[in-house]
Structure 1
Amino acid sequence: MSYLNPYSRLQTIHSAQEILELAQNRSYKLSMKSSLRLPRLERTRIREIARVQEFAKQVKSRLRDAVEGFPTLEKLHPFYYELTDLIVGVDKLKQALGAVYNSTRPIENIADRHIAQLKTATDIREMKRARRAAKGRISSIVRATAGNLDLMIEARRVLVRLPGVNTTIPTIVCAGFPNVGKSTLVRAVSTAEPEIAYYPFTTKEVIVGHLTVGNQTIQIVDTPGILDRPMSQRNEIEKKAIAAVKYLANVILFMLDASETCGWTFEEQMNLYSEVKRSFPLTPTVIVLNKVDITPSDHLAVARAKLPGAFEIVASSGTGVAELMQEALSEVDLEESTPTSSPD
């Protein structure tokens, strides 16, 4: 469901040099067959006017298309707005979009001014000088905004890869250390094959699944690289990327592996759980003990003592999953799906 990403339809954005080359090629490929019977001076006049018009049109349309392809930033859902701000900076992107769009305004005036000269020119050399001058001035405008185009190109490269998450339906977010069984759970409860998508500032990918309860679709998200290690090990940008999740999570499933086959001690997992609770104090959190079928009885007894009421499941076989999801869904207000969390 990548189409849910508001940037998914962004078309290729050309660099300043590419725009000028494309415009130049198009302006020189114009057919002037209808003017073949005219005197050479008039044929040249018609050709040079057409070249200036086409060059200006191509440049202007490519610059405006690059800008208008972006969604209105103020209308983005907060999740995508926050990620945009992290990736490129909303203010920087707005400035670049505005500068590129504004650069198109004088292009038509330049073209009109030189076309007027072409209409009154009395010799071929004067016409060619006017055409070269028009293209030169328009090219200068494009080159002056090259840096803004480069910023837009780089922003698009990352933004089109953002996960396509539905920001209008309730969302369950899975948290916990790697290998505790989060992605297995997402696949177990999803009614279709989950989508795997890129998430910025991590080396892993987000897994987005969906399930249907009555007439309501619920989204369940595994966020590898997001809520899976202590905050002390993260830089400021990573912390902000985590904060963006607050705009999605209606309920958090925090999964622990008491068998410790995930590679993390139970104490380390409990410390991470405490951090997640502190970071999302207003978001309902359901505690899950996974892999209980392979957990030694003494380990399981310790986990039960520390986490009374935790749901015990075996995600790989589905044991206990139905009861877990019933509890998770009871924490989701299907009438009002706006997350209430506000991370520290």
Structure 2
Amino acid sequence: MVQYNLKKITVVPNGKDFIDIILSRTQRQTPTVVHKGYAISRLRQFYMRKVKYTQQNFHEKLSTIIDEFPRLDDIHPFYGDLLHVLYNKDHYKLALGQINTARNLIGKIAKDYVKLLKYGDSLYRCKCLKVAALGRMCTVIKRIAPSLAYLEQIRQHMARLPSIDPNTRTVLICGYPNVGKSSFINKITRADVDVQPYAFTTKSLFVGHTDYKYLRYQVIDTPGILDRPFEDRNIIEMCSITALAHLRAAVLFFLDISGSCGYSIAQQAALFHSIKSLFMNKPLIIVCNKTDLQPLEGISEEDMKLVMEMKAESMKTLIGQGGEAASDQGVLLTMSTLTEDGVISVKNAACERLLDQRVELKMKSKKINECLNRFHVAIPKPRDQKERPHCIPQAVLEVKAKQAAEKEKRKTERDLEDENGGAGVYSASLKKNYMLANDEWKEDVMPEIIDGHNVYDFIDPDILQRLEELEQEEGLRQAEEADDDFEMDGKELTPEEQQALAEIRKKKSLLIQQHRVKKSTAESRPIVPRKFDKDRQFSTGRMGRQLSALGLDPALAINRARSRSRGRKRERSAERGANDGGDIMDMDVDTPNKKQRLRSLSRSRSKSRPPGEIVPGEGFKDSSQKVKAAKLAKKSAKKRNKDARRGEADRVIPTLKPKHLFSGKRSIGKTQRR
């Protein structure tokens, strides 16, 4: 089990929230009603209780923060150094120290003001002392607000750290960046580490778990390390160095022999020799990766010499191995994470070596004697010289042989799928395992029953043949209709009729062309006034000829069109006509009613419709009903328009004074504040 659960640390509130939480709790959990008529001892107790309760709440909260954050000197050295690398041990301790100092200061403030409240001589004096005590406590919290914010950032980052158990069976993967470490851990565990074709994709430690011989192993993927001085390494590289230094694990040093990672074998060998002190007393395996691009036998002699030197160094770091030939096996392995060639053998070798080392260390410890004393291995002594081999009955052997033969002969659904076209083509039969009296019944079609009748009884078996006959008959009928279509070809017409037909066709094609031209230029064609219309297509003469051809008198229409086309010119008023010798009565005769007279006075100017005028089709009974409906619509939109300002971008404070912070307790019998 993991000893340190960094994900369960309580959230650290910021300074303002801290004060609001404590003062709100004080207001809710202590009495809030006090009167001038109370005895002075009761007033003192009332305010002393407030101060003590506030101090206790501050003390509990601050103590929780101090206790839940790990102490770097008391935890495992791996976690201590990792937290120091990530957060700087000095800043971390300073922040926790300021929290501890604030807790002591708040306790001292409460003690001093409680002593003063014991001698308060009035309600006003006691209240002022209480306000001063709570104010000084809040001031202390405000001063440590940066430390609280810093610890909250650390808490959030700690929650994202992987849960690593320093004492369990561990396989550690290290090497240069982009040599295939993350691909390997993705192959042997269910970890989902991001893999990209560039360096430093992995920026922190990642943990996965795998099984070997019914035991759970912890696999740690570390960020890439560069060959440079210790002082120049960044935080990402120091995470790997910390894991190598403090974890008892089997180390897999990955070597990219193809050079596709961007670093040569000489550079990787230099890194190996610079950090080989971290491999002491640990099972070490050198893994040559990416053999699909470059096999180990195909590298140059210089590179092979460097690899052999690394192999010799790794053999020196082994402890307690039997002989040189035995230790040769599993020290230098090759694999390819792309083709998965050798991946499982590398995993098994690392787990086996780690298991052997742990067993051997336990055998050397002092505790093993206590365990061995509890075991007794009984070895039976032979009673005579007669050999008694194992005896298995013949019937049991026959049953086992039959089961083995059936197992070999039986085909799985996957085999059947491969034989019959693969996935998407083969469909497994769900009926073949039905237990019926006759095996031929398994593939029978299930009857569909509707209203107590079998649907199949009402299906005509010759329906497809009849459908084909109907389609042929319909095709013959359509062919006959196509032959009967009349098309005027002009062979049976007289010369006059042929000439008329040619003119009709010419006129028709001309109209079609004109229509297409108008349609194609409708949007961009300018509107040409009548006086610039040279073709005179819409002249009054043309209109007269067309109306005369229809047997109508065109005089009234022509006069009306001429009177309308005089432009925007004011009509003469009645007085002007009277002065000019005209007769007002003649104009009344021409325009019978008042509405027409008004319209004739200013025909060329438009007039806006009053809001109460009814337009046909609106559905109103009269103008008053329309005005009333408009008022109701405007009134209903008022609230929506008022609330329309409230949005994510508006600076709106929904409640200026929250009820739970600015109201006292309910008195007896009142339930409206609940």
Query: 1:258, CA displacement in angstroms?
Result: 2.2
What is the match of residue 219 of structure 1?
A: 218
| Structure with the largest fraction of strand | 1
- The corresponding residue for 2:307 is 307
1:257 equivalent in structure 2: 256
Q: Which residue of 2 aligns with 1:160?
A: 159
Q: CA deviation at 1:41?
A: 4.3
8 Å CA contact 1:210–1:220 kept in 2: the answer is: yes
TM superposition shift of 1:322 = 2.9
Aligned to 2:73: 74
Give me the whole-angstrom Cα distance separating, in 2, the residues matched to 1:275 and 1:284.
18
Residues 264-314 of structure 1, C-alpha deviation per residue, up to 9 Å, x if partnerless?
333333333333335545544211112212326874465656535631112
Counterparts of 2:295 and 2:136 in 1: how far apart (Å)? Answer: 77
Q: Which residue of 2 aligns with 1:342?
A: none
Unaligned runs of 5+ in 1: 339-344
Q: State how 1:240-251 maps to structure 2 within 5 Å.
A: 240-245=238-243, 246-251=245-250
Q: Which of 347, 359, 380 is residue 325 of structure 1 equivalent to? A: 347
Structure 1 vs Structure 2: percent identity of aligned residues? Answer: 24
The question of whether the paired residues in 1 share the 8 Å contact of 2:55 and 2:106 is answered with: yes
In the other structure, the counterpart of 1:208 is: 207
Paired with 2:296 and 2:206, the residues of 1 have a C-alpha distance of 32
Q: 1:337 to 1:47 in 2, by over 3 A?
A: farther
Q: Match for 1:311: what amino acid?
A: L
Residues 55-94 of structure 1 mapped to structure 2, 5 A cutoff: 55-90=54-89, 92-94=91-93
Aligned-pair CA distance for 1:249: 4.8
Structure 2 equivalent of residue 174 of structure 1: 173
Contact map agreement 1:258 1:292 (CA 8 A) in 2: yes
Partner of 1:341: none
1:230 is aligned to 2:227: yes
Indicate which of 326, 330, 334 corresponds to 2:358. 334
Give the Cα–Cα distance (whole angstroms) in 2 for the partners of residues 256 and 86 of structure 1: 26
Measure the CA separation in 2 of the matches of 1:146 and 1:78. 30
Secondary structure of 1:212's aligned partner: strand
1:52 aligns with 2:51: yes
Q: Distance in 2 between matches of 1:113 and 1:233?
A: 53
Q: Per the alignment, in what secondary structure is the counterpart of residue 173 of structure 1?
A: strand
CA distance in 2, matches of 1:219, 1:236: 26
The answer to whether the 8 A contact 1:174-1:222 is kept is: yes
Mapped to 1, the partners of 2:296 and 2:353 lie a distance apart of 30
Pair 84,337 (structure 1): closer, same or farther in 2 beyond 3 Å: farther
Q: Distance in 2 between matches of 1:244 and 1:112?
A: 46
Deviation at 1:185, TM superposition (A): 1.5
Structure-2 change in CA distance of 1:111 and 1:297 (3 Å)? closer
Contact 1:207–1:222 (Cα < 8 Å) also in 2: yes
Structure 1 counterpart of 2:191, from 169, 194, 206: 194
Q: 1:144 to 1:122 in 2, by over 3 A?
A: same
Q: Structure 1 residue 195: deviation in Å?
A: 6.8
What do residues 168-200 of structure 1 show as CA deviations (whole Å, max 9, x unaligned)? 11322112233322112112222xx22769xxx
Give secondary structure in 1 for the equivalent of 2:205.
Answer: strand
CA, structure 1 residues 156+280, in 2 after alignment: closer, same or farther (shift >3 Å)? same
Q: Which amino acid aligns with 1:307?
A: V
Structure ranking higher on relative contact order (CA contacts 8 Å, 6+ apart): 1
Report what 1:287 is aligned to: 286
Q: Identify if the C-alpha distance between structure 1 residues 14 and 32 changes in structure 2 by more than 3 Å, giving closer, same or farther.
A: same
Measured on the aligned residues, the alpha-carbon RMSD in Å equals 3.7
Q: Are residues 337 and 300 of structure 1, via their aligned partners in 2, closer, same or farther at CA, if it must alter by over 3 Å?
A: farther
- Deviation of 1:77 after TM superposition, in Å, equals 0.9
Please list the CA deviations of residues 207-248 of structure 1 after superposition, one character each: whole Å capped at 9, or x if unmatched.
Answer: 2122233353322211124x3x22259725546544312112
Task: Give 1:131 deviation, angstroms.
Answer: 0.8
Cα pair 1:172 1:253 within 8 Å, conserved: yes
In structure 2, runs of 5+ residues without a counterpart are 195-199, 309-330, 363-674
Deviations 1:90-137 (A, max 9, x none): 455445434423432353453354345446544332122111121133
Measure, in 1, the Cα distance between the counterparts of 2:231 and 2:93. Answer: 28
Partner-residue secondary structure (3-state), 2:359: coil
> Structure 2: how far apart are the matches of 1:177 and 1:63?
44
Are the aligned partners of 1:253 and 1:285 in contact in 2 as well (CA < 8 Å)?
yes
1:310-343 Cα distance to aligned partner (Å, 9 max, x none): 31112234322232233323432233789xxxxx
Match of 1:24 in 2: 23
**Does the 8 Å CA contact 1:41/1:124 hold for their aligned counterparts?**
no
Change (3 A) 1:31 1:106: closer
Instruction: Output aligned runs, 1:92-103, within 5 Å.
Output: 92-103=91-102
Q: Secondary structure at the match of 1:210?
A: strand
Alignment-mate amino acid for residue 263 of structure 1: G
Contact conserved, 1:169 with 1:337, CA < 8 A, in 2? no
Q: Is the 8 A contact 2:208 2:218 kept in 1?
A: yes
Contact map agreement 2:209 2:219 (CA 8 A) in 1? yes
Q: Secondary structure of 1:8's partner?
A: helix
After superposition, the C-alpha distances for 1:7-36 in whole angstroms (9 at most, x for unaligned) are 332222234443223222333344647x68
Letter in 2 for 1:71: P
Q: 1:188/1:237 Cα in 2 relative to 1: closer, same or farther (>3 Å)?
A: closer
Q: Provide closer, same or farther for how the CA distance between residues 305 and 314 of structure 1 changes in structure 2, counting only shifts above 3 A.
A: same
Cα distance change of structure 1 residues 189 and 298 upon mapping to structure 2, 3 Å threshold: closer
Q: Which amino acid aligns with 1:289?
A: C
How far residue 82 of structure 1 moved from its aligned partner, in angstroms, is 0.9
Question: d(CA) in 1 for partners of 2:221 and 2:361?
Answer: 18
The alignment of Structure 1 onto Structure 2 pairs a total of residues equal to 328
- Taking the aligned partners of 1:235 and 1:150, their CA distance within structure 2 comes to 30
Contact 1:208 1:222 in 2 (8 A): yes
Question: Which digits, 9 at most, give the CA deviation of each residue in 1:19-59, with x for residues without a partner?
Answer: 223222333344647x68x7654686665444323322222
